Amino acid sequence: MQEINSATDKKTIFGKAFSDYKDKVFSTCMGFVHNTEDAEDLVQEIFIEVYNSLDKFRYESKISTWIYRIAVNKSLNYIRKQKRKNIIQTIELLFDFRKAEYTENSTVSHDQSHNKSENRELKLVLKKALNTLTENQKTAFVLCKYDELSYQEVAEIMNISVSSVESLIHRAKLNLQKKLLNYYKGNY
Partner 1 sequence: MKCQKVQSNLIFFIGKELSQEDEEQTKLHLSACDECSMLYRRVNETINFINIERNEKVNPFLFTRINEKIKNSNSREIIPAYYRLAHAFVFALIISAGLAAGILLGTKNAGYFTGLNSKKDKTTETREFTGDFAFNDEEINNNY
Whose Cβ is closer to partner 1: residue 129's or residue 155's? 129
Task: Choose, by CB under 8 A, the member of 103, 146, 164, 171 that binds partner 1.
Answer: 146
Please, what's the largest Cα pairwise distance for the chain?
A: 63
Q: Which of 47, 66, 78, 151 binds partner 1 (CB under 8 A)?
A: 47
Cβ atoms of 19 and 25 closer than 8 Å: no
Q: How many residues bind partner 1 (CB under 8 A)?
A: 36
Helix (H) or strand (E) segment spanning residue 136: helix 135-145
The site string for partner 1 over 57-86 (x = CB under 8 A, - otherwise) reads ------------------------------
Site string for partner 1, 6-45 (x = CB under 8 A): ---------x--xx--xx--xx--xx--x-x--xx--xx-
Cβ proximity of 21 and 67 under 8 Å:
yes
Decide if residue 152 touches partner 1 (CB under 8 A): no
> Which residue type occupies 182?
N
The one segment of 55-63, 96-104, 124-132, 149-157 that binds partner 1 by CB under 8 A: 124-132
Angle value at C-alpha 148, between 80 and 64, nearest 5 degrees = 70
Q: Does 171 contact partner 1 by CB under 8 A?
A: no
Among residues 92, 114, 87, 113, the alpha carbon closest in space to that of 102 is found at 92
CB 179 within 8 A of CB 129: yes
Instruction: Write out the residues near partner 1 by the rule CB under 8 A.
Output: 15, 18-19, 22-23, 26-27, 30-31, 34, 36, 39-40, 43-44, 47-48, 51-52, 119, 122-123, 125-126, 129, 145-146, 173-174, 176-177, 180-181, 184-185, 188
